[in-house]
Amino acid sequence: MLLSALRDWARDSPTTAVLGIARSIIRFTVNVIPDPDHPDTADTLEAMRDEHLVLAHAFHSAPGAHR
């Protein structure tokens, strides 16, 4: 159900979907896979998201990326 909703969101509103989907997955992961030894799971996942967004933007902006 979650994946279907996220897919529809990405299709219908790609501008808002990028960060919103990442945040939704982080919230879902934190609630479903809690790690009692690492209470900062959300912070870790958000940092990973930010790093991947930087990489994705760099790749997307690279010369020849739109072929």
Tell me the DSSP string of the chain: -HHHHHHHHHHH-HHHHHHHHHHHHHHHHHHHS--TT-TTHHHHHHHHHHHHHHHHHHHHHSTTTT-
Closest to 31 in 3D by CA, of 4, 1, 23:
23
pTM recorded for the entire structure: 0.38
pLDDT tens-place string over residues 22-58? 777 777 777 776 666 666 777 777 777 888 888 888 8
What number of residues does the chain have?
67
CA atoms within 13 A on the CB side of 7: 4
pLDDT tens-place string over residues 2-25? 778 778 878 888 777 777 777 777
